[in-house]
Amino acid sequence: MLEVRGIEAYYGNIPALREISIDVPAGGVVAIIGANGAGKTTLMKTIAGVLRPRCGTISFLGEEITGLPSHKIVRRGVAMVPEGRAILSRMTVRENLEMGAFTRRDAKKALLDMDRVMERFPVLKERAGQLGGSLSGGEQQMLAIARALMSAPKLLLLDEPTLGLAPLVVADIFAIVREINATGTTILLVEQNVKQALKVSSYAYVLETGKIALAGPSRELSQEPRIKASYLGQG
């Protein structure tokens, strides 16, 4: 579904991504793991069209999307849940969800999707008229995911969805990730909770200082000595 080939991205003259190539198959969950500053968020922003790569190509469903503005990438079926959630805090829950469907042209189906999203996230249904900024951290994360789903994505980019959340909420978020994938949405996941990321995904890439250091089936990577020592706290 997604093919990234030889992507390089810079902040000024500082390289952030160097010759990154990844594949995300339709229907799967692929994880990107790595330490802070490894380039994970930069990669997600580049795929989503927020940042332009200096070289390389990005293809989605067989068509190149390199350099397209982000709203056109959303219309093609790619939605991103950014790190830090970035909800519209002065708008209500319902208004946030409506903004998620802003690029859609099928208003009747969008209304049906609104109902489905509210059923999937009962807490959002209960707080539909409440301002987004008044929600708890976990509720805001659910709102950010629900808002992205309102664009009817084929590919969902999740950037650090459990960052700063309590353990019980983390478990809820990963359950939601599994559920979304089970209904047919492909997921590319950036996550610092490496143990859970490898559990929920089928394939994973390890980024180190802007480069792919390791890649392979998630089950195999969970047994890799370097992963155990660096990310799982196992000697």
Domains of the chain, first to last: 2-86+153-231 (3.40.50.300)
**Ordered alpha helix ranges (H), 17-58:** 40-48
- pLDDT tens-digit series, residues 6-21: 999 999 999 999 999 9
Could you give the count of Cα atoms lying within 13 Å of 162 in the half-sphere of its Cβ? 21
- pLDDT tens-digit series, residues 58-104: 999 999 999 899 999 999 999 999 988 889 999 999 999 999 998 88
Other beta carbons less than 10 A from residue 235's beta carbon:
6
Instruction: Return the structure tokens found at 5.
Output: 């080939």
What is the value of pTM for the model shown? 0.92
- pLDDT tens-digit series, residues 186-226: 999 999 899 999 999 999 999 999 999 999 999 999 999 88
- pLDDT tens-digit series, residues 20-60: 999 999 999 999 999 888 999 999 999 999 999 999 999 99
Say whether pLDDT at 235 is over 60.
Answer: no
Phi, psi for 231 (deg, rounded to 5): -125, -20
Contacts of 219 (CB under 8 A, 6+ apart): 198
pLDDT for residue 234:
66
Q: How far is CA 112 from CA 90, 119, 176, 183, in A?
A: 25, 11, 20, 16
Other beta carbons less than 10 A from residue 122's beta carbon:
10
pLDDT for residue 108:
87
Say whether pLDDT at 232 is over 90.
Answer: no
pLDDT for residue 84:
83
Between the two ends of the chain, the Cα-to-Cα distance in Å is 36
Q: Quickly state the pLDDT bin for 164 (edges 50, 70, 90).
A: confident
Mean pLDDT of 137-161: 95
Q: Where are the beta strands (DSSP E) in the chain?
A: 2-11, 14-24, 29-34, 55-60, 63-64, 78-81, 155-159, 186-190, 203-208, 211-217
Q: Is the dihedral of CA 95, 99, 100, 106 positive or negative?
A: positive
